[in-house]
Structure 1
């Protein structure tokens, strides 16, 4: 855990700006997520990105200090910068002065980390925007996450107020997300709800030892689009945004997502790869609906199912009639 006490020269500064200076190596979207999931507190209370700091305020940040602060200036030299990316490859679904919506392909990580040093969505977005990626000390950043192997719509904030807005939107579940997925087995009914708490995905060992496993409310609604005796194509919406929620929920009820190497069925994955050529996770973020950060009006963005997943449906005889 890290603790900071606010001195006079930082009075009146916004919390998010103060933390970006203190945790310079942390991606902006990670920082906002930490605030959103209550890992950042001011005077022991839940923090807000836009709140102004006062003299004597105490900021506490949960997490490993070395990871939060990044490499020491006296430590080993950082790796060379990643090779440049081709911004023309970025599929932009919607863009204005406040935000972008892009279609992330499967296999592309949103951020660096866990051995990923380049070719991320962040790299593509910033290469695409060029000098316009930075505005008033804020660098354009994804406003939420998608798993590396999941394709589909993801929102990017181009201005700090947009990031603050999206943090509020995702914290209070004001965005509606719809996913398309292929799962093992035939569903027993046309639609249903999975209301099953999930353990906190990144809970520290210290936290588990102190208060046990932290279970979080999680709710997934699903509807059958088409199915056979072997597999079902589902439309899923989530009312909470837990890590790997759809994958964990469907696996828990006996219908793991096709191609899921973490929570899925190994023999089933091997079979659909051999028969239908599925080489990735069959999970696609098809649609997101949200209030716009500038005017608050409802905006909906959709990303079509990728060609490789359409091909799987054809081979599985699940094409639209």
Structure 2
């Protein structure tokens, strides 16, 4: 048995949501059964699945924990070598960083450590054994994409940021260097994309699930057979910008999945580009706690600026506005 005392930040969430996070190995049906049979109690009393926790509530979990009784579990090993991650903005609720290209946001298949999750929790000195909410990235960037990403430091900030990103209320701007010269100075790609995570069984039963996807672009500069674009998206499909630009014949330079492979070899050899040229340069949204406008910008990485110079593009990232939260 163990207990969890609800903090101010933990308050307001449903008891079943808390239980699912703390008992990740238990299926939802098992969580409901534990609540129904009083193996999960609040303040010593029976509760309901939809009970909203209050600050100061004591939640009892009458379950068997792994490890010898009374002996604490050994701490999870930390990743000792973490890449440098520039901090762009920080307050009590959120942390905005400039993720380097090549750094995964979350652990996954073949990714054992050195993720942005590892870095953020190390920087914020999080105890990995604590049962309260742990700071986590509120959205994603591809591993090879650099730029602005937000980390929620508190649960309430994460809840609101999830709503903002799901509603499409966050305004993102990306920089992409693409193959060829664009036929017009700006345009819109309105092209449905196949659901990236659809299972084989689902495809066999219902066919490919096509999802609406809209990307806007404008040409910032042109060089030796390439164009520098600023892209904005109305939808957040997986690899959307990369897939859309490849679909119109202007793949992102260095894109190892959707790109033009002979072209990638040329720019790698001639300009030293060793990753895809896609950078999340600006993020504008409502602060998840104060509601004030929040603007965060990331400078163009040095390795990408050197590629522009090699391509004959004399362009620098403008300072659209001051960075940070606006009162």
Query: What is the match of residue 276 of structure 1?
Result: 271
- Higher mean C-alpha deviation, range 220-229 or range 131-140: 131-140
Query: What is the match of residue 302 of structure 1?
Result: 297
**Following TM superposition, by how much is the alpha carbon of 1:319 offset from its aligned partner in structure 2, in angstroms?**
1.5
Alignment partner for residue 207 of structure 1, among 199, 202, 206? 202
Query: What is the match of residue 265 of structure 1?
Result: 260
Q: Could you tell me how far apart the structure 2 residues matched to 1:14 and 1:210 are?
A: 36
C-alpha contact (below 8 Å) 1:178/1:287 kept by paired residues: yes
Alignment partner for residue 137 of structure 2, among 138, 142, 146? 142
**Following TM superposition, by how much is the alpha carbon of 1:133 offset from its aligned partner in structure 2, in angstroms?**
8.2
Query: What is the match of residue 60 of structure 1?
Result: none
Q: Could you tell me how far apart the structure 2 residues matched to 1:304 and 1:20 are?
A: 36
TM-score, normalising length from structure 1?
0.76
Query: What is the match of residue 36 of structure 2?
Result: none
2:129 equivalent to 1:128: no
C-alpha contact (below 8 Å) 2:283/2:295 kept by paired residues: yes
Q: Could you tell me how far apart the structure 2 residues matched to 1:131 and 1:197 are?
A: 41
C-alpha contact (below 8 Å) 2:96/2:148 kept by paired residues: yes
Alignment partner for residue 81 of structure 1, among 60, 64, 77? 77
* Structure 1, gaps ≥5 residues long: 1-11, 26-51, 56-72, 75-79
**Following TM superposition, by how much is the alpha carbon of 1:132 offset from its aligned partner in structure 2, in angstroms?**
7.8
**Following TM superposition, by how much is the alpha carbon of 1:205 offset from its aligned partner in structure 2, in angstroms?**
1.0
**Following TM superposition, by how much is the alpha carbon of 1:19 offset from its aligned partner in structure 2, in angstroms?**
2.4
**Following TM superposition, by how much is the alpha carbon of 1:161 offset from its aligned partner in structure 2, in angstroms?**
0.6
* Structure 2, gaps ≥5 residues long: 1-12, 27-47, 52-65, 68-75, 317-327
Is the partner of 1:293 in helix, strand or coil? coil
2:151 equivalent to 1:156: yes
**Following TM superposition, by how much is the alpha carbon of 1:81 offset from its aligned partner in structure 2, in angstroms?**
3.2
**Following TM superposition, by how much is the alpha carbon of 1:13 offset from its aligned partner in structure 2, in angstroms?**
3.0
- Higher mean C-alpha deviation, range 182-191 or range 271-280: 271-280
The 5 A counterparts of 1:120-269 are 120-131=115-126, 137-228=132-223, 230-269=225-264
Q: Write the deviation string for residues 110-131 of structure 1: whole angstroms up to 9, x where unpaired.
A: 1111211111111110110004
Q: Could you tell me how far apart the structure 1 residues matched to 2:138 and 2:25 are?
A: 18
**Given the superposition, is the C-alpha separation of residues 84 and 288 from structure 1 closer, same or farther in structure 2, using an over 3 Å criterion?**
same
Higher relative helix content:
1
Is the partner of 1:153 in helix, strand or coil? strand
Is the partner of 2:101 in helix, strand or coil? coil
Is the partner of 2:235 in helix, strand or coil? coil
**Following TM superposition, by how much is the alpha carbon of 1:298 offset from its aligned partner in structure 2, in angstroms?**
1.0
Is the partner of 2:17 in helix, strand or coil? helix
Q: Could you tell me how far apart the structure 1 residues matched to 2:16 and 2:311 are?
A: 51
RMSD (Å) for aligned C-alpha atoms:
2.5
**Given the superposition, is the C-alpha separation of residues 295 and 251 from structure 1 closer, same or farther in structure 2, using an over 3 Å criterion?**
same
Report how many residues are paired: 262
